[in-house]
Amino acid sequence: MDAQSIIARRVARELRAGNLVNLGIGIPTLVANFVPSDLKVFFQSENGLIGTGPMPEQGMAHPLLTDAGGRPISALPGACVFDSAMSFGLIRGGHVDITVLGGLQVDAEGHLANWMIPGKMVPGMGGAMDLVTGAKRVIVAMQHAAKGKSKIVQKCALPLTSSRPVDLVVTDMAVINFSGGRITLQETAPGVTVAEVMAVTEADLFIPADVPEMRI
């Protein structure tokens, strides 16, 4: 299984019936593909929709119904639309149960950096700062390392997205949580050993006695 599918499948297991969920672009978007059909969750698109459905079939796209990246989507029965003030009121106001976001770095304190690389890439923060600040639970879905460098660092060198720590990081190698304010290895990916995770992790992970394998 490829890295992105491992991450998306594992994140999907965090969703609970009735959750209002916001998925960021990139790997997080894939999470929707792995939600069991009998699990009813609400997906929010921050451009003003709750109840996003899959991309419509060829020829069925509506130009006024898109996701936050401007791509055509569908709206499920029971969907509703609203303006951007409402959309971010939902996000900042703590009404979103889970947000899943991509990341550039996450550090030992759970701080996320995901919106710019100074001098190199300045796309803007979009809704990321509000999502991390306001959602009840923040999950980061990203590759464990990029170009051989750990993305789980002791302290973020890149500009932070929020001073609020994230709750869970899911990578192609591990699941990491921050319960009790301590960066803790919760699970390893199938076929990956604890030693292998530690070898590619810059931050000083706390390793509990029992680290089970991810169920995906």
Q: Which residues bind other proteins (CB under 8 A)?
A: 45-49, 62-66, 68-70, 75, 81-85, 87-88, 91-92, 122-130, 133-134, 159-163
Check: CB of residue 101 under 8 Å from CB of residue 29: no
> Edge-to-edge strands of the sheet including 105-107?
112-113, 105-107, 152-153
Q: How far apart are CA 144 and CA 203, in angstroms?
A: 12
Q: How far is the CB of 48 from other proteins (least distance, A)?
A: 5
Q: How far is the CB of 122 from other proteins (least distance, A)?
A: 7
Local structure of residue 60 (DSSP, 8 states): -
Based on CB atoms, which residue is closest to other proteins, 5 or 89?
89
Q: How far apart are CA 146 and CA 102, in angstroms?
A: 13
Based on CB atoms, which residue is closest to other proteins, 64 or 195?
64
Q: How far is the CB of 52 from other proteins (least distance, A)?
A: 9
Please say if 46 is a catalytic residue: yes
Check: CB of residue 49 under 8 Å from CB of residue 75: yes
Based on CB atoms, which residue is closest to other proteins, 19 or 52?
52
Strand segments (E) across 6-165: 20-23, 42-45, 49-53, 74-81, 98-101, 105-107, 112-113, 137-141, 145-146, 149-150, 152-153
Q: How far is the CB of 54 from other proteins (least distance, A)?
A: 15
Active-site residue, from 14, 46, 187, 196: 46
Give the active site residues.
Answer: 46
